[in-house]
Amino acid sequence: MKYSNLVMRALFLILSLGLLIGCGGSTTGTGGVSVEGKVLVADAQGTVTPVSNAQVFVTETGDSAVSDANGNYVIVTDKRAAYTLLVEVEEFSATTTITDVPANVSKVKANLRLDRESNTVSGENVEFEREDSAESTDDNSSAGDSSGSDDSSSNGSEDSSSSGSSDRPSNDDSSSNSGSSGNNGSGSNDDRDDDDGTDDHSGSGDDNSGSHNDDSSSDDDDGSDSGNSHDDSSDNSDDDSDDDSNSGSGNGDDDSGDDSDDSDDDSGDDSDGGDSGGDMCDERDAQGSIVAVNSSSISVSGVTFTITSQTRIRDEDGNSISASDLEVGQKVKVQGDCQGSTLVAKDIRIDD
């Protein structure tokens, strides 16, 4: 009986020691805020070394911890807006205050630098880890996992698509090549069939190859349509040469078609304008009241004439007068004459 009690006590002591070791030699508060960092000291040469076995207290709560061999300390305490840390080691004792602590902080990191000569301690590299930042870190990690799976799935789909398509190029190339070889000799014939109004787009090389020369010659002789010149030239260069030799209407070549169109336009312009410069003059006469007059022009009934040194100006009796004798509102008869592109007043006479 006594032996069993001793065993139970021994187990209890072992468990208690294990719990103390797990706590890292620190006392904990109830708030769940971790204050941690390193206790450091610099010698006369400026070399920084960790300080072990230093007691670090949170003076507001009394929670404390002892730094390990690497100078690390961890204190779990209550949430506060500021923490005053007291460091005691051997004959050294000093405090430093960490302020502006966020309300949602979950961890306060601060390295405590000891200055033995001035007997002071200062907080360095102070950082605050918020609760939401911890949550966001978890979210980012999970997001990274999901993105990784997405990438793998997308890569898999790309692999499958590329592998699936790798089997097709040879078949596609062979079919396209065979199709193009059949159509090269007769692609322009389809366009000429369109010109004749038969609307044959079968695209069969065998059907059109036999009638290639007949179609090209008949279409070129008809000259009924030059709108497919671009298609004919792009489909087959041989048809272009046939078209050029058989017809000058521009069915085979874009340049010849453009030239013929330009020549038609030029001839049309010449017939309409009757002037090599392209400017037009409408030769006409006018009779009515003078709307505006000066030494170089006169406007009558909405028609403006240019007055030159050759213009004859006469009064109602037929006597010669000058343009300065004319007045707005007078009734006149004006005989016009085109000189180049200008409508010139050949004769101006005051009307009774």
Q: Maximum CA pair distance of the chain?
A: 164
What residues are paired with 336 via a beta bridge?
345
Q: How confident is the model at residue 224 (pLDDT cuts 50, 70, 90)?
A: very low
**CA–CA dist 69, 74 (Å, integer):** 13
Element counts in the chain: helices (H) and strands (E): 9, 15
37 token code pair: 């960092």
- Tell me what pLDDT residue 109 has: 94
Secondary structure class of 185 (helix, strand, coil): coil
- Give percent above pLDDT 70 in the chain: 51
**CA–CA dist 62, 28 (Å, integer):** 9
Residues of the chain with CATH 2.40.50.320: 286-350
Confirm or reject CATH 2.60.40.10 for domain 25-132, answering yes or no: yes
**Residue 75 pLDDT more than 90?**
yes
Read off the pLDDT of residues 123-170 as tens digits, 9 standing for 90 and up: 889 999 987 654 443 434 333 443 433 443 334 334 433 334 444 444
Q: How confident is the model at residue 77 (pLDDT cuts 50, 70, 90)?
A: very high
Alpha-carbon distances, residue 58 vs 22, 79, 338 (angstroms): 20, 11, 112
Residues of the chain with CATH 2.60.40.10: 25-132
Average pLDDT over residues 45-69: 93
Average pLDDT over residues 195-216: 40
- Tell me what pLDDT residue 62 has: 92
Q: How confident is the model at residue 107 (pLDDT cuts 50, 70, 90)?
A: very high
216 token code pair: 């090209």
Nearest CA-CA partner of 349 in 315, 305, 304? 315
Long-range Cβ contact pairs of 104-107 (< 8 A, separation 24 or more): 104/130, 104/131, 104/132, 105/33, 105/79, 105/129, 105/130, 105/131, 106/32, 106/33, 106/34, 106/130, 106/131, 106/134, 107/33, 107/34, 107/35, 107/36
- Between β-strands 120-130 and 48-50, what pairing exists: parallel, antiparallel or unpaired? unpaired
Q: How confident is the model at residue 49 (pLDDT cuts 50, 70, 90)?
A: very high
Neighbours of 326 (CB within 10 A): 20
- Tell me what pLDDT residue 180 has: 37
291 token code pair: 């709307």
Nearest CA-CA partner of 73 in 120, 32, 124, 26? 26
8 A C-beta contact, residue 108 and residue 98: yes
Residue that has been written with the tokens 């336009």 in this structure:
265
Range 286-350: architecture per CATH: Beta Barrel (2.40)
Average pLDDT over residues 63-78: 95
Secondary structure class of 332 (helix, strand, coil): strand
**CA–CA dist 89, 119 (Å, integer):** 11
Nearest CA-CA partner of 242 in 258, 226, 220? 220
Q: What is the pTM of this model?
A: 0.33
Average pLDDT over residues 210-239: 39
